[in-house]
Structures are given as structure tokens and as C-alpha cells.
A and B are shown apart, each in its own frame.
Chain A
């Protein structure tokens, strides 16, 4: 079947979901999957090219805090606040990315730089206590009645669901555009051999900057959306190292190289978190982190292509399709 028809049908089916009278809890889970599915997709557009960022919490934080602060202090609508936050995030990505890419900071060293970036943003939020509320977090000022298009606040959960659905679908579309572009080939080539890529005419620094800024901008939107939905943000839960690492974990679990991989990763991590919460409550501190860590190791060893990648490889094997990709080499 034509993939485009399949995609339209899938999104139509999802759009019909709120009509089935789901309870608030289930709708909440769905919205959470969509928002985080979008954030994870944003990370994976660069992560799939071997540019592993451990600091995407930085961009989430800029999205959440800049938009909320502009709204709370100046009454500036998120419709203007979000573009401002995107520009800020992209500038940050440019300032950190340019020296990294110019001087070939790749692999583990690049990951360390991004790790520091996430911490810098988190500490900045904590440090600007008077403006941000510090570690106590910050509440988005609600509008009377709870719903205002201008304030991007929707008292009705179903409305927020549609907003999240649109953003998520747009994220998948961007993923696909990147997947079909020459930029993808340029970045895959660069991730394998920067000299060889440059010698066929790839401006490696520029290509990497472009994808990093795209990823940063998208993640910023995710951060703002998260803030608008929760109506409360906190430096730890939006820019903390835990969030940045969860992004990496979810994408690896779901599948780094497939369009729906990050979304499946969002479902997987949410189900895991909810199961742990319901089963153990908050009795055993740090249990979730331990289990995440263990699972991450298992995924990297046994399912390097993640859940979706393994399913896809299984289907290909069954059909005996030609040109089947051999298992991803550990590089």
C-alpha cells in the first residue's frame, strides 16, 4: 500500500481518538507520548548521524523558560515567544556547534561538550532565582476560564491533544524531509569519514551546523509545548541531566534510524515509568534510573537498532527483500 495513504489513515485514526470518550488519564498519556515523541524525533534528526547530544535539555529549557518568562512578565503571547526562543536556541547551538565542528570534536568528546551545555543552562535557570523561581520551578500564569488561543492554553484536554498531534506530525514530516535530502547523504558520509566527505565536496562544518540548529529549534518547540501543557516547569525536569539522558535512552530503545522509532521510544519509556510508579510507588529511590541504565545496556548489545529497527529487519528477512541491510556494525 502507498505509504502516504497509510500515513493519512494513521493520523486520521489518531485524530479520532478523543471522540471515543477516553478518560483524562489516558488522554494525558497520549498527549505525553506525542510531546515526548516529538522531542525525541527532534533529537534523532541529528543523533542518527552519530552526533550524540547529551545536552538537549538545554534547548528544552530555553523553550520552556523563555516562553513562560516572556508570558508571565510581559504578557507576550507564546506565538511570539516561541519564535524568540527558537532563535535563542539556534544561536546557542551555533555558538557551541561551530567550534566543535570546525575543530573536529566528535564522538565522546562532542557528547561531553553537550553534557556541559545542558548543565550550564540548568545552572543558569537555578541561578537566576529572582526571575525563574530557581529550583522551585515556575508556574505558567493561567488565563481566566483556562482557555485562550492567544495564550496557547487549553482547559479542554482534547484541544491540547490536537495541538500536540499536529506538532508531532510536523516533526515526523521534518524527519522525512531530512531523510530524503542530500543533507542526509552529506551527514552520513561525514559521520563515516570527514576527509573523504570533504573531498567529494561536502562542507562538513556547515552540514553539521545545519542539522544541529534544526534539531535545537525543534526541541525548543517541544520544551515550550511541554510547559504550556504542564503549566509548570522546573529546571530539573526540563533541563536536568536525567531528561537529557532519557532522550538518548528512549531513542535508542525505540529505534534511531526509523521514522517512528523515537515515538515508539516515547511509548516505551512512558509505559515503563508508569509501570514502575504503579508497582513500586516512590518507595525505592533511584529504581527507575537503575532500570533505565540496565535496559540501555541490553538494548545497545542486543537491539542496536531499537524496537522499530528490529521489527523492520525481521519483516525484511521474512520477505527476503533484496538489498537487506546487514546488522549495524558496531563502530
Chain B
């Protein structure tokens, strides 16, 4: 079911000021795949997604989306390349309503044309969002906000959805639901790159994963391989 390489990260290094968070990181995501990047706090997972969506510039290396290097593409154009970023801690616009947040997701001109259709799709996927359409996004529960953030990402009609720790700060039962959502989004045919600390859970929904530790890729393989890896079992799963 997986196709050609969609996203390629080639030997990317990046950081903030004199601090380096990523060292020569390379990975790829194929069309139709769900790929995880797992690792502990401070491993550089969020930085990696920020480099891909051009919020920060890499100090070396490049990111290529469907054959097009993202180097010269400004941050607000990345979404037109088919990449939607669901940021860490959701980053909704708290004083806009749910529907206004979703409208913002379809901001770029191509997406705006198909706003109605996509809105219906998101409401069908998350009926809860339809019930809460006029509510201020900042007043919803964490799980609902995560739904809204994913919905906002889907509104742009992306090929690739970048998800940054969708389980962060949520109650365990809600975390289960959020990973359920990820599964459904996969089933809708989206390609997903998901960054998570919740390794046990995320390996249930992705095909493959990369283990990122202190800014370098330490290990990679299919979910089953990683779940069976003695190192991961000992260090991260406590088995």
C-alpha cells in the first residue's frame, strides 16, 4: 500500500542560537505510510517537525517534498505543498470559535475554494466539533482541542499530516481516543508523520518508526521490530 517517497529529510542539522538540537538527521516517508519518530523529552523531535514546516531553518541539510526542496519555500507556503502541521500543545487560536479555527485551516486560496466540502468532511469525522462549532476553541477540553487541531490540519487538504505529540497533556483515556483518531485518519488515506513520547501507544498505529535520541537517529525499523528491540523494551517500555 505504500508508494513513492513523499517526504525526504536529508542530513539535517538544526538548533537555536548556539545550541544544536539535531545532528545529521535523515529519514523518509513514503506515500500512504504512517511513520513515527519516537524518543525521550529533548531528543529534538519537535525541532525536526519545525524544520520540515519551515518554522526554523536548518543549519545544514535539506528537506524535500515530492521532489521539491523546501529550502527556498517560506513558512506560509509550506501548507500549499501539501504539508499540514498539527503543532505541539495544539496551538489553536483560543479566542476564535471552533469553526473559525477550521476556517483558518483552509486559509490558502486553493483550500478556500473547497472550504464547505472539507468542513463537512471534518464534521463527519469529528461530530463533536460540529456540536461545538460556535464555542471558543480555548474553552474546550484538551481532547476536544486536539480534535480541533487535527481538523484544522485536515482543512488544508494536505497530503502529509505532521503531528507533534498529539497525546501531550491528555488524560490516559483521552490519549486512547486520540490514537483512535490517528488510526481513522490513516484509514482515510492520509500520509502521517507523528512524533511521540508515548512509544507503546504510537507503535500500535504507525508502520515504521525512527528512534531519536539527543538529536541523532539511533535506530529505525518496523513497529514490530522496534517493539521487539531489547534496547527499546528496556529503556522505554520498562519491560
Binding site for B on A (CB under 8 A): 182, 185-186, 188-189, 192-193, 195-204, 322-323, 325-326, 328-329
CB-based contact B135/A195 at 8 Å: no
List 19 contacting pairs A-B, 8 Å CB cutoff, sorted by A. Answer: A182-B107, A182-B112, A185-B103, A192-B94, A192-B95, A192-B96, A195-B55, A195-B87, A198-B75, A199-B53, A199-B55, A200-B108, A201-B107, A201-B111, A202-B107, A204-B76, A323-B97, A326-B139, A329-B138
Known: A200-B105, A201-B79, A203-B76. 15 other contacts (CB 8 A): A186-B107, A188-B96, A189-B96, A193-B91, A195-B55, A196-B87, A197-B104, A199-B78, A199-B84, A199-B85, A199-B87, A200-B156, A201-B76, A201-B77, A201-B156
B170 contacts chain A at the CB level, 8 A cutoff: no
B152 contacts chain A at the CB level, 8 A cutoff: yes
B28 contacts chain A at the CB level, 8 A cutoff: no
- What residue of chain A has the Cβ atom nearest to residue B56's Cβ? A195
B236 contacts chain A at the CB level, 8 A cutoff: no
Shortest CB-to-CB span from B77 to chain A, Å, is 7
B66 contacts chain A at the CB level, 8 A cutoff: no
Total residue contacts A-B, CB cutoff 8 A: 78
CB-based contact B135/A323 at 8 Å: yes
Which chain B residues lie closer than 8 Å to A192 at the CB level?
93-96
Which chain B residues lie closer than 8 Å to A198 at the CB level?
55, 75-76
Name the contact of A200 in the complex, choosing from B95, B97, B107, B134 (C-beta under 8 A).
B107
* Contact residues on B (Cβ < 8 Å of other chain), bracket: 20 to 34
A262 to B87, CA, bound (A): 37
Shortest CB-to-CB span from A178 to chain B, Å, is 15
- What residue of chain B has the Cβ atom nearest to residue A199's Cβ? B85
Which chain A residues lie closer than 8 Å to B135 at the CB level?
323
Which chain B residues lie closer than 8 Å to A323 at the CB level?
97, 134-135
A328 to B136, CA, bound (A): 11
A196 to B87, CA, bound (A): 8
Name the contact of B104 in the complex, choosing from A189, A325, A326, A329 (C-beta under 8 A).
A189
B213 contacts chain A at the CB level, 8 A cutoff: no
**Interface mask (B153-167 → A, CB under 8 Å = 1, otherwise 0):** 000100000000000
CB-based contact B76/A185 at 8 Å: no
Contacts A201-B156, A204-B76, A326-B139 given; does A196 touch B93 at CB 8 Å: yes
